[in-house]
Amino acid sequence: MEKKKDQTGTAILGTGAAAATVAGGATANAVVGGSAATIMSTVAGTPIATMGSAAGASGLAGGAAISSGLSTIGSVIGGGMAAGAVITTVVPVVALTGLVYGAYKLFSSRDK
């Protein structure tokens, strides 16, 4: 018996991968090789700044918290503040893709 291809699941995963690539690429283009001031002006007022400041050292506020947080996040892969900015852009897109795909698989398995 031939296994049926899951075109909807493939489309969900493909769209999520494309979105993560575009988001990560755009952020990387804006921040990689830039100074701290360039990175800060790029992420100011975005969810990247919020996640960065949440991961920052306690007792810091504003730009210092964001810089510290993005550096901490970036250090996970051996990078710095720019790597942290790219990671905080891509991870939510990948997580949302996983959530949508998981919900799709859950509800599509009930139809069988």
d(CA 70, CA 51): 8
Query: For 37-93, how does the pLDDT look when each residue is reduced to its tens digit (9 = 90+)?
Result: 888 888 877 888 888 888 877 777 778 888 888 899 999 888 888 898 899 889 889
pTM: 0.75
Q: Given this model, what pLDDT does residue 101 score?
A: 92
d(CA 33, CA 11): 34
Query: For 90-104, how does the pLDDT look when each residue is reduced to its tens digit (9 = 90+)?
Result: 988 999 999 999 999
Tokens of 111: 């139809």
Q: pLDDT at residue 26 above 60?
A: yes
Q: Given this model, what pLDDT does residue 2 score?
A: 60
Q: Given this model, what pLDDT does residue 112 score?
A: 58
d(CA 19, CA 23): 6
Q: Given this model, what pLDDT does residue 68 score?
A: 87
Q: Given this model, what pLDDT does residue 30 score?
A: 84
**How wide is the angle at C-alpha 43 spanned by C-alphas 91 and 24, nearest 5°?**
35
